[in-house]
Amino acid sequence: MDEARSIGTGDLRVLHHPVLGDLPVSRPVQITVDGQPLLAREGEVIAATLLAHGILVCRAMPRGREPRGVFCALGRCTDCLMTVDDEPNVRACLTPVREGQVIWTQAGLGGWEGPAG
Partner 1 sequence: MKTTGIAVIGAGPAGIAAALAAAEAGASITVIDENSAVGGQLRWRIAPLRGLDEALDGLPACRAAETLRERLATAGVSVLAGTVAWGLFEDGSLAVAAPGGGFRLRAEKIVVATGAVDLVLPFSGWTLPGVMTARAAQVMLHLHRVLPGRRVAVIGEGRDAAELVTDLETAGAEVVLRAADPAQVVASGEGRVEQVSVNGEQREANAVVIALGRQPDPELALQAQVDLGYSARLGCHLPLRNELLETSRPGLYVAGEAAGAVDLAESFAEGRLAGLAAAGASPERITTAQEKLARARSPERSADADRLRPWASDRAQTETDASSPWTSWVRAATAEGRDNSLDRVALCRCEQVTIGEVRQAIEEGALTINDIKRRTRAGMGLCQGIFCTRAMALLLHAERGIPLSEIVPMTERPPARPIPLASLVEIEE
Residues that bind partner 1 (CB under 8 A): 10, 12-15, 17-20, 23, 41, 44-45, 47-48, 51-52, 56-58, 61-64, 66-79, 93-94, 96
Smallest gap from Cβ 46 to partner 1, in A, equals 11
Q: Is there a contact between 10 and 54 (Cβ–Cβ < 8 Å)?
A: yes
Q: Is there a contact between 42 and 29 (Cβ–Cβ < 8 Å)?
A: yes
Q: Which residue, 74 or 116, has its beta carbon nearer to partner 1?
A: 74
Smallest gap from Cβ 11 to partner 1, in A, equals 9
Q: Which residue, 6 or 115, has its beta carbon nearer to partner 1?
A: 6
Smallest gap from Cβ 72 to partner 1, in A, equals 5
Q: Which residue, 18 or 35, has its beta carbon nearer to partner 1?
A: 18
Q: Which residue, 97 or 115, has its beta carbon nearer to partner 1?
A: 97
Give 37's strand partners: 32
Three-state DSSP at 46 gives helix
Smallest gap from Cβ 94 to partner 1, in A, equals 7
